[in-house]
Amino acid sequence: MPKKILITEDSPTILAITKDALESAGYFVVCAVDGQEALDKTRKEQPDLIILDLMLPKIDGYKVCRMLKFDEKYKRIPIIIFTARTQESDVLLGKEVGANAYITKPFEPSILLDKIAELLKN
Q: How many residues does the chain have?
A: 122
What span, in angstroms and rounded, lies between the C-alpha atoms of 61 and 71? 15
Whether 47 contacts 4, CB under 8 Å:
yes
pLDDT tens, 31-88?
999 999 999 999 999 999 999 999 999 999 999 999 999 999 999 999 999 988 888 8
Q: Cα–Cα distances in Å, from 95 out to 22, 25, 58, 84? A: 24, 27, 22, 16
pLDDT bracket for residue 122 (50, 70, 90): low
What span, in angstroms and rounded, lies between the C-alpha atoms of 100 and 115? 10
